[in-house]
Amino acid sequence: MKPSKTNQTLLRNARIVFPDRVEKRDLLVRDDRIAPSDGELPSDGFDEIDLAECRLVPGFIDVHIHGAIGVDTMEADAAGLRRISEFLATQGVTAWLPTLVPAPDADYKQAIAVIGEAMKSTAGARILGVHYEGPFVNSAQCGALRQQYFRSFVNNDSLDSLPRLANPAAVHMMTVAPEVEGGIELVRQLKRRGWIVSIGHTRAEFEVLDETLTAGARHMTHFMNAMAPLQQRAPGPIGWGLLRDEVTCDVIADGIHLDRHMLELILKSKGSERLMLISDAIAAAGKGDGDYQIWGETISVKDGRTRNSRGNIAGSVISLLDAVRTMESLGVSEVDLAHMSSTNPAKLLSLDGECGSIEAGKRADLVALNAEKKVVLVMVNGEVVLPAA
C-alpha cells in the first residue's frame, strides 16, 4: 500500500461496512469525499490500494478521552495534542474530543488555547472541539475527578467563566449532574448556547432527570460508572437511562469499568442505535503498566487497570479499537459496531451529515482492519495517514 499522491484513490476488494449491510466492492475517494457508487471509475490519474481480506469501516470517533502516550489534555501544548492525534490514528480513530477534568479557570484557559491551536493541524485524527467533564457534577459521585474544583451553577457568570473555542465549527460538550445547585437551568443555558449536554457523575432521581430531558440533555456519560447504583427501590440514573428510549449512552468497554455481562445487558436494553463507545483514556494509554503523575496525583496502571491514591478507577488505558474488539467478542455485528463507534458519536455531535458512516458525499474518514482486527489503513479527509509515507 502506498499513500495517496493524487486527488483520487480507489480502494479495491474491501468488505465495506455500510450503515445497513456489509458488501464486498470497490470504493472511490475523490478529494476528501466518498464518491457515488454509481459513478464511472476513473481510467487513470488515481492511486489504487488493494484491501482484499480487509474490512473497511467508518473512522472511529472518540468523544471522551483525556490523553494518551504520556500526554494529558490539561497540560499539553499543541505539539502534544498533535502527537495524541497521530497515535489515535494508528488505533483507527479519525476524530476526537479532548476531554478536560475540573480545574481552576487558568488551567481551563490554557487548555482551550492549546486545543484551538492544535485544531489548525491536519496531522492524524481530527480534533473536533472540547468536552468538559464537569465541573458541575456531584461530589458524591466524583470518581477520579478532583472535588475541590467542582462548582454549582448560581448564574450565567458561572458558565461565562469557562472559556470557549473561537473556531465557529468547534463542538462544545459538557458532562453535568443535573441535581447540583442550578443544574437544570445550567442545562437550559448550555443548550441555548449550542452545547451538547451529557448526564454523568450523578445521583439524580427520576423526576430531576425527566426535567433534565425536557431541558435538552439526552445523553449519559460512561453509563453505570460514577452513577448511583441501580437498586430495587431506587432505580436512579441507571434505571432511568435504561428506560428512556430518547436517551443515548456511552460505555467504556474495557472489561474493567463494566463486566462483560453488563455490557450485554446495556446493549440488549438500549440497542446499537442508542449506544456508543468511548475510551475515557488517560495519558498512560499506550505506555504500559507503571506509575504516572496525572491530575496532581499518582495513578497506577497494573494489568490494564488504573487506580488512584483513593483506590478509585481513574479512566482507562484502552483505545476505541480495543473497545470495538471487546464488543465484537460479545457477538456484536460489524454493522452495529460501526454504529456504536462512528455513526452514533457523529449523531451526538450533530456531525452525521458530514461523517460517521460510509456514504456518498460524506467525508472520507475510513479505516481498514485485517482479519486479526488490526489497523492496516487509515484515511482522514481522504488522505492516507497510515501507513505513513
Query: Is cis: bond before 98, omega within 30 of 0?
Result: no
Query: Both 19 and 104 in a single domain?
Result: no
Q: Are residues 183 and 127 in the same domain?
A: yes
Q: Are residues 250 and 189 in the same domain?
A: yes
Same domain, 340 and 376: no
pLDDT tens digit sequence for 198-238: 999 999 999 999 999 999 999 999 999 999 999 999 999 99
pTM of the model: 0.96
Alpha-carbon distance of 280 to 283, in angstroms, equals 10
CB-based contact 95:89 (threshold 8 Å): no
pLDDT at 377 over 60: yes
Respond yes or no on whether the N-terminal peptide bond of residue 135 is cis (omega within 30° of 0): yes
Q: What is the mean pLDDT of residues 42-52?
A: 82
In-domain check, residue 133: yes
Q: Considering the chain, what is the average pLDDT of its residues? A: 94
Residue 201 placed within a domain: yes
Asked, for residue 65, whether it belongs to a domain, the answer is yes
- Is pLDDT of 1 > 60? no
Residues 367 and 254 placed together within one structural domain of the fold = no
Both 199 and 136 in one domain: the answer is yes
Q: Where residue 39 falls among pLDDT bands split at 50, 70, 90?
A: low
CATH number at residue 144: 3.20.20.140
Whats the size of the chain, residue-wise?
A: 389
CATH number of the domain encompassing residue 16? 2.30.40.10
Grade residue 42 by pLDDT with cuts at 50, 70 and 90.
Answer: low
Would you name the residues annotated as active-site residues?
A: 280
Residue type, 133: E
178 lies in the same domain as 290: yes
| Helix ranges, the chain (H) | 78-90, 105-118, 156-160, 183-192, 206-215, 236-243, 260-270, 320-329, 334-338, 344-348
Position of cell 448550555? 190
Residue 44 banded pLDDT, cuts 50, 70, 90: low
Residue 240, domain member (yes or no): yes
For the chain, what percent of residues have pLDDT higher than 70?
A: 96
Rounded to 5 degrees, what are φ and ψ at 268? Answer: -65, -35
Q: Look at residue 3 in the predicted model and tell me its pLDDT.
A: 44
Measured distance CA(13)–CA(27) in Å, rounded = 8
Do the domain assignments include residue 3? Answer: no
In a domain, 353, yes or no: no
Percent of the chain with pLDDT over 90: 88
Distances in whole angstroms, Cα of residue 57 to Cα of each of 74, 111, 344, 367, 370: 31, 32, 14, 5, 11
145 and 253 within one domain:
yes
Predicted pLDDT at 46:
80
Q: Is residue 1 part of a domain?
A: no
Pair 78, 50 in one domain: no
Indicate if the pLDDT at residue 375 is higher than 80: yes
Q: Quick check: is 354 in a domain? A: no
- Provide the domain count of the chain: 2
Assess whether 71 and 38 both reside in one domain.
no
Domain hosting 376: range is 8-56+361-386
Q: Convert the pLDDT of each residue in 73-104 to its tens digit.
A: 999 999 999 999 999 999 999 999 999 999 99
Q: What is the pLDDT of residue 309?
A: 86
Assess whether 263 and 284 both reside in one domain. Answer: yes
Shared domain for 254 and 107, answered yes or no, is yes
Convert the pLDDT of each residue in 98-129 to its tens digit: 999 999 999 999 999 999 999 998 789 999 99
List strands edge to edge, sheet with 297-302: 290-294, 297-302, 305-307
Predicted local confidence at residue 345, as pLDDT? 98
pLDDT tens-digit map of 303-360: 999 999 888 899 999 999 999 999 999 999 999 999 999 999 999 999 999 999 999 9
Burial class (CB in 10 A: 0-12, 13-18, 19+), 92: buried
Question: 154 pLDDT band (50/70/90 cuts)?
Answer: confident
In angstroms, rounded to a whole number, what is the distance separating the alpha carbons of residues 112 and 16?
37
